[in-house]
């Protein structure tokens, strides 16, 4: 126990309360007429009893707690400390005093000490709960909380602990029948979610906080829709992906984002398996400064690797993730390497220097339209770069190599998608001859990643529109960045070698619906405040993406959200011929030659020859 001025003051107050409890116990038992023999017992044992209680209080930590935040645990500590102190007092009196304690006096002493000491401890909490602390603002925001579960209760506690500086909770809304009209930590459940518009008007609500982190996206959309009919500001606490490492916190409350409306059930991770293949290993992440790569770095850092090697071509993004990792994980060895994965000599040197046990290959050119205009760069980076990394991993004795792939690699119509399909073939072909476990993980679009549709839409909305889509019926699969990274790590733990893991992407989302939702979340009405323009499908784009070819099919794994594509035969000779051509002619390849080369290994690309001719002559 650390002795401070506060501790000394608490000891003195406790000593006074214990003596008061002693006196009151005897006084009440004998109705003010204490027999002389018991007076002697009282006088002899008071000092020793006070000392016993104080020691018991110290042992149970009653002097090392902030009581204005007291909860059930603190109350139990007081009960245990008082019980032990009372038992010690009775034992001392039994062996040393001329008269034994009357049973009633012992019971009264327990109740009196518990009431006085416990009451003194809880006084600060009572004042805090009642909102009576000095400096409480006069004009706090009036807050309605949607969701009377654990997250909502935590938000109310946080608001009270901050003395209502962030606002005062007026009530909850929740659809659970058993919670209606109930009071939860002093705040009443005023109605159901459908009552939000009426309650906002009746109670002059300034802000609505959606506190349902595990709710389905459809429920969140319904709440947001009801909130739109009010003048209140709408905020939300993070979904389960964001609060896996701790409870809901008022600092995490933020405006509703489109990701909240598309969210799905949180990923269940097999931490034992993850720790088994990542803990104590040197882990390398290529494309470590990108959206997916940087999130993989953050997730890996939590699993106690021996070191983390962040590889990337853009110095600014690599610098940013390096600073974040060193700040959040000061005990982790973080190394950075600025390199181009097409530089075979530098790649070999880096693998020899760090000897990684696990590699996550997230570096890639991913923009479909850009790669249509620069097809040779897609081949050089996504195909040749992957081959160089895979060969270096094999030579360095890497245990597990995980390629981050895309749904655009399935029956590809774009150069980018085809280049990623070839990358999948390369790691499957390499797995046949290497002791390294080479696998790929295939998934769809990632919400909020750099250059993806949502940041583009946001910029267009900021400029007043129009928001541009290429086709009103176009759909895409979406998942959040943390979800994708966590499933990639989990798939790596299942790797036996040669698999293409398919992540469960849920249902496809219409891009038009996504654009309208984002416009509404920005405070505007689609086609009223912000126009939506249809620009036409771009070269290489498909109306809908697929996750599997007809030939592949899937089998399940031990994880409900991860499947494995059945292997498809690979023409190794054609693959090597393609790689040799890229190595020798690379930057000099024409668009037509790129399509012909890809068509030799990917049948769906032969269908693009007519389109290529049109592009060349158009």
Domains along the chain? Answer: 5-130 (no CATH), 142-256 (3.40.50.720), 271-464+473-507+544-569 (3.40.50.720)
Looking at every residue in the chain, the average pLDDT score rounds to: 82
247 or 187, higher pLDDT: 187
User: What whole-number percentage of the chain has pLDDT above 90?
Assistant: 33
pLDDT at 333 over 50: yes
Angle between helical axes of 415-433 and 385-396 (0-180°, round to 10): 20
pLDDT at 344 over 80: yes
Lowest mean pLDDT among 280-289, 470-479, 504-513, 555-564: 555-564
String of DSSP letters for 406-429: EGGGSS--SHHHHHHHHHHHHHHH
Q: Are strands 475-476 and 509-510 parallel, antiparallel or unpaired?
A: antiparallel
pLDDT range class, residue 547, cuts 50, 70, 90? low
pLDDT for the residue numbered 106: 79
Instruction: Tell me what the mean pLDDT of segment 207-230 comes to.
Output: 84
Residue linked to tokens 């097409």: 342
HEC profile for 310-365?
EEECCHHHHHHHHHHHHHHCCCCEEEEEECCCCCHHHHHHHHHHHCCCEEEECCCC
pLDDT for the residue numbered 388: 97
User: What whole-number percentage of the chain has pLDDT above 70?
Assistant: 81
Contact 118, 82 (CB under 8 A): yes
Instruction: Tell me what the mean pLDDT of segment 215-225 comes to.
Output: 81
* Tens of pLDDT, residues 267-286: 556 656 666 789 999 999 99
* Tens of pLDDT, residues 427-456: 999 999 999 999 999 887 777 666 678 888
The CB density around residue 202, as the number of other CB atoms within 10 Å, is 12
- If you average pLDDT over each of 154-163, 469-478, 561-570, which comes out highest? 469-478
Instruction: Tell me what the mean pLDDT of segment 296-307 comes to.
Output: 93
Which residues lie below 8 Å from residue 169, measured CB to CB, with a gap of 6+? 143, 144, 145, 155, 156, 159, 187
pLDDT range class, residue 329, cuts 50, 70, 90? very high
String of DSSP letters for 94-122: HHHSSSPPPHHHHHHHHHHHHHHHHHHHH
| DSSP H/E element including 154 | helix 150-161
The CB density around residue 87, as the number of other CB atoms within 10 Å, is 14
pLDDT range class, residue 259, cuts 50, 70, 90? low
pLDDT for the residue numbered 436: 96
Q: How far apart are CA 596 and CA 574, in angstroms?
A: 12
Q: Are strands 478-480 and 445-447 parallel, antiparallel or unpaired?
A: parallel
pLDDT for the residue numbered 568: 75
pLDDT range class, residue 615, cuts 50, 70, 90? very low
pLDDT for the residue numbered 208: 92
Instruction: Tell me what the mean pLDDT of segment 569-582 comes to.
Output: 90
């Amino acid at each position: 126990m650390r002795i401070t001025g506060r501790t000394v003051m608490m000891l003195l107050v406790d000593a006074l309360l214990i003596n008061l409890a002693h006196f009151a116990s005897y006084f009440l038992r004998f109705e003010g007429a204490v027999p002389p023999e018991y007076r002697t017992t009282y006088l002899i044992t008071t000092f020793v009893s006070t000392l016993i209680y104080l020691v018991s209080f110290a042992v149970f930590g009653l002097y090392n707690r902030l009581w204005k935040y007291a909860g059930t645990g603190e109350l139990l500590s007081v009960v245990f400390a008082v019980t032990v102190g009372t038992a010690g007092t009775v034992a001392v009196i039994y062996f040393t005093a001329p008269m034994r304690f009357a049973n009633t006096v012992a019971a009264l002493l327990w109740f009196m000490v518990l009431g006085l000491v416990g009451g003194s401890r809880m006084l600060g909490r009572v004042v805090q709960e009642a909102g009576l602390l000095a400096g409480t603002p006069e004009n706090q925001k009036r807050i309605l909380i949607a969701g009377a579960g654990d997250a909502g209760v935590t938000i109310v506690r946080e608001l009270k602990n901050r003395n209502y500086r962030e606002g005062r909770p007026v009530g909850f809304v929740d659809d659970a029948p058993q919670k209606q009209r109930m009071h939860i930590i002093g705040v009443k459940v005023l109605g159901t979610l459908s009552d939000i518009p009426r309650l906002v008007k009746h109670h002059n609500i300034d802000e609505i906080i959606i506190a349902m982190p595990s709710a389905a996206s459809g429920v969140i959309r319904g709440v947001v829709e009801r909130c739109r009919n009010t003048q209140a500001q709408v905020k939300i606490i993070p979904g389960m992906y964001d609060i896996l490492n701790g409870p809901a916190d008022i600092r995490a409350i933020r405006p509703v984002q489109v990701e909240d409306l598309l969210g799905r059930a949180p990923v269940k991770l097999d931490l034992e398996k993850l720790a088994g293949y990542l803990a104590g290993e040197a882990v390398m992440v290529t494309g470590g400064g990108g959206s997916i790569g940087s999130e993989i770095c953050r997730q890996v850092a939590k699993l106690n690797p021996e070191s983390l090697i962040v590889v990337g071509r853009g110095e600014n993004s690599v610098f940013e993730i390096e600073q974040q990792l060193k700040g959040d994980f000061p005990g982790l060895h973080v190394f950075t390497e600025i390199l181009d994965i097409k530089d075979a000599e530098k790649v070999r040197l880096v693998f020899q220097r760090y000897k990684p046990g696990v590699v996550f290959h997230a570096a890639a050119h991913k923009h479909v339209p850009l790669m249509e205009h620069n097809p040779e760069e897609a081949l050089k980076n996504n195909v040749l770069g992957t081959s160089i990394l895979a060969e270096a991993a094999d030579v360095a004795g890497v245990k597990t190599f995980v390629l981050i792939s895309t749904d655009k690699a399935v029956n590809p119509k774009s150069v980018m998608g085809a280049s990623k399909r070839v990358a999948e073939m390369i790691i499957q072909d390499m797995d046949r001859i290497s002791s390294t476990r080479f696998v790929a993980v295939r998934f769809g679009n990632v919400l909020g990643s750099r250059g993806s549709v949502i940041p583009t839409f946001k910029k267009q909305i900021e400029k007043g529109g129009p928001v541009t889509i290429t086709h009103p019926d176009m759909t895409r699969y979406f998942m959040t960045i943390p979800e994708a990274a966590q499933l990639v790590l989990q798939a790596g733990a299942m790797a036996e070698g040669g698999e293409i893991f398919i992540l469960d992407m849920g249902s496809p989302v219409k891009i038009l619906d996504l654009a309208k939702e984002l416009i509404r979340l920005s405070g505007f009405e689609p086609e009223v405040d912000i126009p939506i323009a249809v620009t036409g499908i771009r070269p290489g784009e498909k109306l809908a993406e697929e996750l599997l070819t007809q030939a592949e099919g899937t089998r399940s794994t031990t994880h409900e959200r991860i499947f494995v594509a059945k292997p498809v035969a690979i023409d190794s000779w054609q693959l090597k011929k393609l790689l040799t051509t890229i190595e020798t002619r690379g930057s000099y390849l024409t668009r037509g030659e790129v399509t012909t080369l890809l068509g030799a290994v990917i049948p769906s690309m032969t269908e693009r020859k007519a389109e290529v001719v049109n592009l060349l002559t158009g």
